[in-house]
Amino acid sequence: MKQLASSGQLKPSDLVWQTGMTSWKPASGVEGLVFPPPTEDEPPPIPPEDTANLESPPPVPSAKPKDGYWAKNALASTATSLLHRGQSAGQLLKKLCERANLRWKLIPNAYRVLGEQVHSQGAYRADFPSIYVRLDGLLAEIAYLKERPVGEQQAAPFAVKVLSIARIAHNLPHTQLIKSRVTNAFRELGNTAFAKYGENSGPKELVQQIVDCRKRLDTLDTEIRDLLQSQPGQIVTPKRILIAGGVVIVLLLLFAFFGTKGSR
């Protein structure tokens, strides 16, 4: 032990024991052991008088929570959760509106423009003959209904002009219906051409617009699906917040309508 202590292999703070001792004690408390002077990295030896009882200190008593602590904490947690879900409901509503605009307006309009371009060039007529036959017939019917009436001629009598104007007014609803069918046919032609030929279906700028809209639609579908997923046990979810908000708006509109009607 003396040799280990003098060589520095045994530190003053190392615990030692031998038969007859009731507990371990630091080597600095053993008589006859001489240790080299401590360096800056070594702690000073423990004095022998401080090694009589090596007991661990008692645990620090935990602070007792004040009255109302748990209630306030639960209320704050609930308010934070409701605020977060309200923000999620707002994001969900925004994404649903953007998705509806893409699905029912931007993408169909892009297909229609592409279909008009394809039809004007007579491209893929052999691939989609039924669409071309339907389009040609509708366009010919519109041209017939829009034919310049005789009444617009300078030499035509007044009665003929009145009859021509009446004929135009009579044919106007039918013309609007045919125009709607033409729009649908153009949209179908553009959609079918894009589905079969992809980037080669038309001008690059028109095709790229369709590609960008479809990618954005896929991204929105994923984001909306993630927002609609709720954890088990949750009562308030973004979807239910939207439903409740819609019900409140309908009730307010009904109240305003019947209230105004009753005041009259």
Tell me, yes or no, whether 102 and 220 share the same domain.
yes
Looking at the structure of the chain, the number of domains it has is 2
Q: What proportions of the chain, in percent to the nearest 5, are helix, strand and coil?
A: 70, 0, 30
Whether residues 5 and 133 fall in one domain: no
Could you tell me if residue 73 is inside a domain? no
**Tell me, what DSSP letter sits at residue 106?**
I
> Which is higher by pLDDT, 134 or 176?
134
- The DSSP result for 117-128, as a single string, is HHHHHTTTTTTS
Cβ burial of 110 (10 Å; 0-12, 13-18, 19+) is buried
Place of tokens 């829009």: 146
Asked if residue 44 belongs to a domain, the reply is: no
Pair 121, 224 in one domain: yes
Is 136 contained in some domain? yes
Residue 2: give the domain boundaries.
Answer: 1-36
* Residue 202 covered by a domain: yes
Termini Cα distance of the chain? 110
Q: Identify whether residues 26 and 104 lie together within a single domain.
A: no
Indicate whether this model's pTM tops 0.75.
no
How many CA atoms does the CB half-sphere of 62 hold within 13 Å?
Answer: 3
The answer to whether position 53 is within a domain reads no
Residue 92, in any domain of the structure: no
Reduced to 3 states (helix: H, G, I; strand: E, B; else coil), residue 157 is coil
The pairing of strands 15-16 and 25-26 is antiparallel
Average pLDDT (237-246) is 59
102 and 231 belong to one structural domain: yes
- Mark whether 3 and 121 lie in a shared domain: no
Of residues 197 and 13, more confidence is placed in 197
For residues 186 and 104, state if they share a domain.
yes
For residues 134 and 33, what is the distance between their CA atoms, to the nearest angstrom?
Answer: 111
Same domain? 112 vs 186: yes
Over residues 65-116, the pLDDT tens digits come to 555 555 556 656 666 665 666 677 788 888 889 999 999 999 999 999 999 9
118 occurs within a structural domain: yes
Please say whether the beta carbons of 237 and 231 come within 8 A: no
Same-domain pairing of 121 and 234: yes
Assigned domain for 125 exists: yes
Nearest C-alpha neighbor of 51 from the set 73, 29, 68: 29
Instruction: List pLDDT tens digits, range 159-210.
Output: 555 555 565 565 677 778 888 999 999 999 999 999 999 999 999 999 999 9
| 201 and 105 co-located in one domain | yes
Burial class (CB in 10 A: 0-12, 13-18, 19+), 179: middle
234 and 128 in a common domain: yes
Q: What is the pLDDT of residue 57?
A: 47
- Whether residues 29 and 104 share a domain: the answer is no
Q: Which residues touch 33 (CB under 8 Å, ≥6 apart)?
A: 1, 2, 5, 10, 27
CB 152, CB 164: distance < 8 Å: yes
